[in-house]
Amino acid sequence: PRHKCGNQKSCPPNHFAFKIISGAANVVGPSICFDDKILMSSLKNNIGRGLNIALVNGADGKLLKTGIFDMYSG
């Protein structure tokens, strides 16, 4: 069976599934999946080097904001 975000198991009731992939240098970009929705990825063109952050409402699972913090350039 297929589980949300491609995880190996389903989450318990009243929990959200998520998967964060950090990427690999300049070859594979990072991605963030939350409750079977891709929030950040190279296909959405909303990722960058450094820390990629997605702020999600913990009650309803709705995306509030995304951001990139480039730790290399300061």
**Range 37-40 contact pairs with CB under 8 angstroms and sequence separation of 24 or more:** 37/63, 39/63, 39/66, 40/66
pLDDT tens readout for residues 16-35: 999 999 877 677 788 999 99
| Nearest partner of 14 among 56, 61, 49, 48, judged by Cα | 61
Distance CA 16, CA 33 (A): 10
Tell me the per-residue pLDDT of 33-53, one tens digit each, with 9 for 90 and over: 999 999 999 999 999 888 899
| Across 56-60, average pLDDT | 93
